[in-house]
Amino acid sequence: MKYIYQAGKPEGKKFILLHGTGGDETSLIDLARLLDAKSTILALRGQVKEDGMHRFFRRNGLNQFDLVSLENETDHLLEEITRISEEKGIALADWILVGYSNGANIAAHLLLERQTSLAQGIFFHPMSLGVHTKVFDLSDKKVWVSYGGMRDQIVSEAAFDTLTEAFDKRGADLTIMETNSGHQLLMEEVQSAKAWLKE
């Protein structure tokens, strides 16, 4: 799995960056710097290709997910994060997952379906992938999520609500920001997430 690692200041946040469909490991670096200019970043590239576009797991059409690919790629992602973290001497619990769209989806799935010491996430425009098999407690998790409202042609209200309910019911500390801007990422979302980081 291709990635970029950039060490930041000791007092900076530590971000794992997971891009949306068609992005790559460079896509969210500027976003990370907006969230925290002193941050350490680990930016990963999804290893699935769809019509020439990078993704983190396969799909069989719009919002029709390949669940075998999802589980395999989630395991691989966690293995890569663990391996690189050990190499860099960073505890898993110190990272904050930052994902947009497809990257947010696999990151949220990882927190919901894998028992890991990864504990924080900033998820821009995520959705439920229809897989909710685990019931372990998530009270050690702190998650910020955003939704683009009825104008979002990718994420339905039902799919967003199913995801947030899964976190909420299992005790996660959940913050939700809703806009009416569709699927694109707004500066007001970035500012909200930045404020959340400082809480």
Write out the catalytic residue numbers. 101, 152, 183
What order of strands is seen across the sheet that includes strand 14-18? 3-6, 40-44, 14-18, 95-100, 120-124, 142-147, 173-178
Q: ∠ CA 99-127-190 to the nearest 5 degrees? A: 40
From the list 170, 106, 180, the residue with the least C-alpha distance to 135 is: 170
**β 48-50/53-55 pair status:** antiparallel
Only one residue has tokens 């966690």, namely 78
